[in-house]
Amino acid sequence: MGVRFRLALVLLFVGLAAILALFAYRSRLNEQEAKGTALEVASRKANKLAAALAAPLYEVSLPSVESLVASEFDNPAVMQIAVREGPDRRLILVYRRLADQPRRVEAVRFRRDWQSREYAVVYQRPGDAGEVLGTVAVWADPALALQDLQARTQKRLIEEVVLVLLLTALAGGIADRLVAQPLSQLGTVLRRTADTAGASVLDTAGTLETFERSLAAVPSRSPEIEESKRSLRMLVQSLVQRQRELEGILGNALGAMACFEIPSFRVLYGNEEFWTKMGSTVADGHAVRELITANTHSDDVEALWATYAEAVSGRVSSVVECRQIGPDGRVERWWRFRLGPFDRDETGRVTGTVLHAIDVTDLRRLQEELERANSQLEEAVEERTRELVEANRELESFAYSVSHDLRAPLRSINGFGRILLEDHADKLDEDAQDCVRRMVAAAERLGALVDALLHLSRVARAEVRRTEVDVSAVAEELLADLREENPDRSVEIVVHPGAFVKADAALTRSVLQNLLSNAWKYTRRRPDARIEVGPCEVCGKPGFFVRDNGVGFEPGLAAQAFKPFQRLHTDKEFEGLGVGLATVQRIVARHDGRIEVQAAPGQGAEFRVTLSP
């Protein structure tokens, strides 16, 4: 196969590849644009229906809903519309295009090629944020848009294919003139040289004298031949020098190295470590298959010859470990080795392989000792873990039992104290009444602490059921409750939309309630009080933040704030039990999430929370 033919073949393949790539690019571009068009149709229809269905869903007028849904199939790309009702997203209506007509069906059909958009149906009443009545979803098929795009781009694609073919032909002509012709002339000279001296060079590899005699027999009929002879002489001299260098490198290489002729297994080269440690597998200069198998552990023989098969097939084998056994049948050494081809004939068949093996006996023995130690350590860790889990379970059970049992005597103390104050106050002087009042207040506070302890215990044992939670909506609801409880407070509230987490809904609400209650409490001394809630990222995961401009605290006290019953402010400054942030941390830990705090005295505090594992 000539150089020109090969070059033309390569250019032909390049041209075909360019055409195929261009076709694939155009097809991909059309598909993406068609999907975008279908998604735009679905979004426009879903948005329009979400606004139009608010009144019919609020009035529970199913005929009106059906009429509105059926009217939106005027665009042939619309394939399916579904309406769901209420927060539980109960499916109440599905229309699908069947035989080019919208028909009501029982269930939603999902197809990978359809593009869909879903919007919430909100009924807006004066004075509130609106009520979410349900959702409407629209599916659109990009097939129609794809047909139009393919028709428009077909002519452009033909023009581009013609241009690619012309460029390929031009490149072929230039390459033939600049590359193929000079290579063909040089190949003629090299073939003549090989016909005369090639066989003797191969037969006397490594002897420069014989090569020089063979090369001198080639007549120098042109400057090109003389230049080729000079180049060949320099090449052979360089190869001989590289061979000497390679022998020196291999002789000093770490591990056993050897080269074998295939399929005779004749050892072409072996360094000192090979002959010292693997010489028992060689007889009369040839590696013997039976001796190799006899010196290898029976469990490793299959892997050993599998690596040999890989090398003979032309691939560098994977690294394999095998055990060399001694005359007594015991493991004498561990080897980590690989095989690879290093010589081929004119047909590409492998005629030589190279072995590189490293003695890892000491490493394997150390590894076995480490594995035994690790096994013992793992058993000890598992036993300790079981003990800790059991102790933690018993501690939680004890805390729950003690907290539960304390409630009855506390109610008695509180009740009898109130009886003294209400029915026998005339028999008590002022000091006695003050003592009883203090006793009742202490009992009530202790009861609140017991309730908080029970709540912490429940949070630690609560099962986490993850759902999609709209944090912004929950925050608005909780802040509205705080405003209603404190109508005299003037607080600027900012709730950014789009804060969503996938977490337990009840526990997420508890996190927000504690953080917002703290923000509301610690901003009451500021005339310009401000509370802000919105989405954020914590360690690259979606979450939310709660920020206020209240009294704040020292950054170094953040860890103390999350401990149960640890407070950063006195009861005279701000009331509380010191369990709110502890509850937040327990819930975040139950979700395998993370909480970050930024605070400064007099500048407020910011809590950033993610509940994603």
Of 425, 603, 605, nearest in space to 528 by CA: 603
472 and 506 housed in the same domain = yes
One domain, residues 16 and 38: yes
Q: Can you tell me the mean pLDDT for 445-454? A: 65
Contact 303, 281 (CB under 8 A): no
Provide the residue type at 228 as one letter.
Answer: S
Residue 182 has pLDDT above 50, yes or no: no
Instruction: Give yes or no: residues 49 and 70 share one domain.
Output: yes
In the predicted structure, residue 497 carries a pLDDT above the cut 90:
yes
Is residue 555 predicted with pLDDT exceeding 70? yes
How is residue 317 annotated by DSSP? P
Buried-state track 239-260, b at ≥16 Cβ within 10 A, e below 16: eeeeeeeeeeebeeeebbbbbb
pLDDT of residue 471: 92
The continuous run of DSSP H or E covering 512 comes out as helix 505-522
Asked if 319 and 337 touch (Cβ cutoff 8 Å), the reply is: yes
Indicate whether 340 pLDDT > 80.
Answer: yes
Whole-angstrom distance, CA of residue 146 vs CA of residue 419: 84
Tell whether 301 and 220 lie within a shared domain.
Answer: no
Q: Where a domain ends, among 223, 249, 275?
A: 249
Residue-number span of the structural domain to which 9 is assigned: 3-147
The string over 479-512, giving b where at least 16 C-beta atoms fall within 10 Å of a residue's C-beta and e elsewhere, is beebeeeeeeeebebebeeebbbebbeebbbbbb
User: How confident is residue 202, by pLDDT bands cut at 50, 70 and 90?
Assistant: very low
Number of domains in the chain: 5
Q: Which of 132, 147, 162 is the last residue of a domain?
A: 147
What are 562-575's pLDDT values in tens digits? Answer: 776 666 666 666 66
Does a structural domain hold residue 75? Answer: yes
Task: For 418, list phi and psi in degrees, rounded to 5.
Answer: -65, -35
Query: Are both 290 and 312 inside the same structural domain?
Result: yes
- 104-160 pLDDT per residue, tens: 998 898 888 898 889 888 877 665 667 888 899 999 988 877 777 666 666 666 766
Q: Residue 108: helix, strand or coil by DSSP?
A: coil
Residue 157 lies in a domain: no
Residues 218 and 316 in one domain: no
Both 487 and 453 in one domain: the answer is no
Residue 186 located in a structural domain:
no
pLDDT in tens, 59-90: 888 888 888 898 889 888 898 999 998 878 88
What are the residues whose beta carbons fall under 8 Å from the beta carbon of 258, sequence distance 6 or more?
A: 267, 269, 270, 271, 274, 278, 354, 355
* pTM beyond 0.85: no
Pairing of strands 492-495, 530-538: parallel
pLDDT at 200 > cutoff 70:
no
Specify if 275 maps to a domain.
Answer: yes
Closest CA to 604 of 538, 518, 541: 518
Q: Angle 535-541-547 (CA atoms, 0-180°, nearest 5)? A: 35
Q: What is the three-class DSSP state of 144?
A: helix
DSSP output for 371-431:
HHHHHHHHHHHHHHHHHHHHHHHHHHHHHHHHHHHHHHHHHHHHHHHHHHHHHSGGGS-HH
208 and 74 housed in the same domain: no
Indicate if 449 and 475 belong to the same structural domain.
Answer: no
Residue type, 160: E
Q: Give yes or no for a contact between 309 and 339, defined as CB atoms under 8 angstroms apart.
A: no
- What residues pair up with 108 in beta bridges, in sequence order? none
350 lies in the same domain as 393 = no
181 located within any domain:
no
Domain end, chosen from 214, 249, 284, is at 249
